[in-house]
Amino acid sequence: MGFAKTHDILDVNSSLINSEVKLGGWIEDLRKLGKMTFLTLRDVSGIIQVIVKGELNDKLEGLNRQSVVFIKGKVQDTKAKDFDCEILALEIDVLGKAIHPLPIDPIGRLESNIDNRLNSRALDMRNQKTASIFKLRHHVLAILRKTLSDKRFIEITTPKIIGSASEGGANLFSLEYFGRTAYLAQSPQLYKEQMTIGLERVFEISNFYRAEKSHTGRHLSEFTSVDIEAAFMDYTDVMNVLESLVMEVYKFTSENCKKEQEEIEYEIKVPNAPFDRVAYSQVVDELKSLDQKIEFGDDLLDSHLRLVGEKHPGFYFLTDWPLKLKPFYIREKDEDATLSRSFDLQYGYLELSSGGTRLHDPAILKARLAEQGLDPALFKDHLQAFDWGMPPHSGWGLGLDRLMTTLIGIDNVREVVLYPRDPDRLRP
């Protein structure tokens, strides 16, 4: 009979009664009642009841749930209260058998732990809860791309295999590259900055790599980063871009992804804007008033951020960090050179993004590299662009996986990543 569908199940409704349709999908349930079988068939779009009568039942003999079948049938009225119509099967082809026992129950009736689900991720995707998370992720990516394009940002793709450390950090994976050592990029930082000299406003949505031995719900060795860089913008301008992107993501998914919200049993609530802007110095004062041992210039520890997050739940910007805590490319504040034009976007205790205004004067940038103990010679390729008319520019990097966890109210990034990579997980 072939396997070209005439419809996705979502598009089969009572307006098609008496028409013939060809559907392909997976058997979610099989109930035999005498000479008749009630089969529920699921595809990516929905679920429908199929009635199998007479000799056609032989095709179902010994067939397990979750096997993939192709069914030609006639649309008819139904007595089943959950369905608008049903299919009377005319022909059935079994296209692929599911061998039982399956490693997890994809219907989700029997709860499986996250490790078992990740080990069988493709099967887990038939669980409507899991599928809905990835459909939501798809919509988030689409709305991010659309919103940035509307703001005239140009999408770029920078190399992931690089010849030297892009940000000077130690958390790089190295690999053998035709007899030399190469590294996996930890961020597109230097490339996106360089692109502002020709494209002005750029963005990238790609995976990046961090060799950190972190075992938390928010760290992965491979994560998806949304990055922007914009010429002629200051850090406050790119904060506004970030805020409007987050708002668009929440508004779009809350209004347009009702079915997904039902499946994950979570209602997406649009946050209030503008987000608070809280200076680092204010946070230090707040922590001191809570008897925390912290001085201006100290980095915020996890325990600090938990307390700050209790005081500032939801989205807020943490701004104006001490310059010495920031990477070499961040610019100081004119009125106080110990402070930087930088910010993190926080969701309670969770850091979602960091960014700032960059240094665009090559002499100051070289001096800053040296101050931070980095060898300017290693940044030769990058620094040359600063002699070709480098505009003032600002940008940020946003952890997409972390943003997804806030959107759907969970606390483990592994739930929103297809095949997460962490120090313990390299397969499947």
Question: Which residues form the interface with ligand AMO (CB under 6 A)?
Answer: 187, 189, 210, 212, 219-220, 223, 225, 227, 351-356, 395-397, 399, 401-402, 413
Closest to ligand AMO by CB, 83 or 223: 223
Closest to ligand AMO by CB, 72 or 219: 219
The least distance separating ligand AMO from the CB of residue 111, rounded to whole angstroms, comes to 26
In the block, residue with structure tokens 């004062």: 285
The least distance separating ligand AMO from the CB of residue 224, rounded to whole angstroms, comes to 8
The least distance separating ligand AMO from the CB of residue 376, rounded to whole angstroms, comes to 19
Closest to ligand AMO by CB, 322 or 355: 355
Closest to ligand AMO by CB, 83 or 329: 329
Do the strands 86-96 and 222-231 form a parallel or antiparallel pair, or are they unpaired?
Answer: unpaired
Tokens representing 217 are 């719900």
Closest to ligand AMO by CB, 124 or 227: 227
Residue number of the CB closest to ligand AMO reads 399
Query: Does residue 327 have a cis bond before it (omega within 30 degrees)?
Result: no
The least distance separating ligand AMO from the CB of residue 354, rounded to whole angstroms, comes to 4
What would the 3-class secondary structure string for the chain be? Answer: CCCCCCCCHHHCCHHHCCCEEEEEEEEEEEEEECCEEEEEEEECCEEEEEEEEHHHHHHHCCCCCCCEEEEEEEEECCCCCCCCCEEEEEEEEEEECCCCCCCCCCCCCCCCCHHHHHHCHHHHCCCHHHHHHHHHHHHHHHHHHHHHHHCCCEECCCCCEECCCCCCCCCCCEEEECCEEEEECCCCHHHHHHHHHHHCEEEEEEEEECCCCCCCCCCCCEEEEEEEEEECCCHHHHHHHHHHHHHHHHHHHHHHCHHHHHHHCCCCCCCCCCCEEEEHHHHHHHHHHCCCCCCCCCCCCHHHHHHHHHHCCCEEEEECCEHHHCCCCECECCCCCCEECEEEEEECCEEEEEEEEECCCHHHHHHHHHHCCCCHHHHHHHHHHCCCCCCCEEEEEEEHHHHHHHHHCCCCHHHHCCCCCECCECCC
Closest to ligand AMO by CB, 409 or 423: 423
The least distance separating ligand AMO from the CB of residue 165, rounded to whole angstroms, comes to 12
The least distance separating ligand AMO from the CB of residue 313, rounded to whole angstroms, comes to 18
Closest to ligand AMO by CB, 126 or 393: 393
Closest to ligand AMO by CB, 26 or 223: 223
Closest to ligand AMO by CB, 189 or 253: 189
Tell me the one-letter amino acid at 284.
V
The least distance separating ligand AMO from the CB of residue 152, rounded to whole angstroms, comes to 19
Closest to ligand AMO by CB, 210 or 304: 210
In the block, residue with structure tokens 């205790």: 349
Tokens representing 151 are 């703001």
Closest to ligand AMO by CB, 129 or 219: 219
What is the C-alpha separation between 391 and 331, in angstroms, rounded? 13
The least distance separating ligand AMO from the CB of residue 229, rounded to whole angstroms, comes to 7
Tell me the one-letter amino acid at 403.
L
What lies within 8 Å, CB to CB, of 64 at 6+ separation is 27, 97, 98, 99, 100
The least distance separating ligand AMO from the CB of residue 297, rounded to whole angstroms, comes to 19
The least distance separating ligand AMO from the CB of residue 168, rounded to whole angstroms, comes to 11
The least distance separating ligand AMO from the CB of residue 394, rounded to whole angstroms, comes to 9
Assess contact for 49 and 40: CB atoms under 8 A.
yes
What is the C-alpha separation between 49 and 76, in angstroms, rounded? 10
